[in-house]
Amino acid sequence: MTGRRGFSLAELVVALFLAGIIGLALARLVISQARFVAGQDGMLQARSTVRAALNVMASELRALTPGGLLAATADSVTVRVPYAFGVACQQSGGGTNVSLLPSDSSIYNVASASGYAFRDSSGTWQFKEPAAVASGTCSPAGPAITTLSATGWSARVVRVAPNDVRTAEGSIVYLYQLVRYALAPSATIPGRTALWRTVLSTGTRDELVAPFDTGSTFQFLVGSRLTARTTPPGLLDSVAGLRVRLIGQSERVPEGKSAPSRFDVSTNIVFRNNAGP
């Protein structure tokens, strides 16, 4: 029987050397892919943070009418947010009865009225706050105003008080609540910044989304060309909208990075009836 020749020591050394090179290359590839995936995941987290914040704010801020901005700084705005519109149908007993148009019933049912606004004969919005809102009726003796119903919305008339004699029958009226949006320290992610929403009439303060970079800010659009200013003008009624810059961050620092992922977005939110040319 012929004897078999095995591997020499030199051949084993060369084989182990080649296997080590291949293993090292594979390890580097796996690490690189893991870091890439972690980086992409961090970017998606940062982008989701920005989008969630904008979705909440935009729907409310776009509804503002002239006079809706009450206070403003680079990191906080206080606004009169409409949540139901209607038409004044009758004044009686120190109050005004308002026939409401169908609106989002879930928003209406959770809102707490801070006041009401009406458009006077000159077209200027006037505000009454604080104000009480109760059930009301539109008398047949008043103007021919029909109170509408819709799917999920029963026909509704409310009585707002105190009354303002300038609220003529047929005037446009809306109910609003005072809301403050602020970029402030997060409670859920210590050491980071969050977007907070506070309903001033109830004191309810909610941390909407986090985290954000400290460079996030509010700017103020003024003039017919909607020029952005970093500081609010002396006359807040001249503000036609906000430029919101939000820099979302990932919650954790991705593998191989020295800082959280960032997603930087700036968008203009123009108030109702203030679209530029």
pLDDT band, very low/low/confident/very high, at 21 (cuts 50, 70, 90): confident
Looking at residue 85, which CATH number applies to its domain? 2.40.30
> Is 72:78 a contact under the CB 8 Å cutoff?
yes
> Is 211:192 a contact under the CB 8 Å cutoff?
yes
pLDDT of amino acid 242: 95
pLDDT of amino acid 4: 60
Whether residue 22 lies inside any domain: the answer is no
Q: Which of 128, 156, 177 is the last residue of a domain?
A: 177
Q: Which of 120, 151, 177 is the last residue of a domain?
A: 177
> Is 114:198 a contact under the CB 8 Å cutoff?
no
pLDDT band, very low/low/confident/very high, at 273 (cuts 50, 70, 90): low
Least confident of 47-61, 105-119, 190-204: 47-61
| pLDDT reading at 218 higher than 60 | yes
Q: Is the pTM of this model over 0.85?
A: no
70-117 residue pLDDT tens: 999 999 999 999 999 999 988 888 899 999 999 888 888 888 899 999
Could you tell me what percent of the chain has a pLDDT over 90?
A: 42
Mean pLDDT, all residues of the chain = 86
One DSSP character per residue, the chain reads -PPPP---HHHHHHHHHHHHHHHHHHHHHHHHHHHHHHHHHHHHHHHHHHHHHHHHHHHHHTTPPTT-EEEEETTEEEEEEEEEEEEEEEEETTEEEEEEPP--HHHHHH----EEEEE-TTS-EEEE-S-EEEE----TTS---PPP-BTTB---EEEEES--TT--TT-EEEEEEEEEEEEEE-SSSTTSEEEEEEETTTTEEEEEEEEE-TT-EEEEEETTTTEEESS--S-GGGEEEEEEEEEEE-SSPPTT-SS--EEEEEEEEEPTT----
151-195 residue pLDDT tens: 888 889 999 999 888 888 888 999 999 999 999 999 999 989 999
Mean pLDDT of 56-62: 89
Least confident of 39-48, 202-211, 222-231, 263-272: 39-48
Residues 183 and 162 in one domain: no
| pLDDT reading at 277 higher than 50 | no
- Rounded to whole angstroms, the Cα distance separating 233 from 261 reads 34
Whether residue 7 lies inside any domain: the answer is no
Whether residue 163 lies inside any domain: the answer is yes
Number of domains in the chain: 2
Q: Which of 122, 154, 177 is the last residue of a domain?
A: 177
Residues 82 and 123 in one domain: yes
| Full residue range of the structural domain in which residue 258 is found | 41-67+179-270
Residues 266 and 190 in one domain: yes
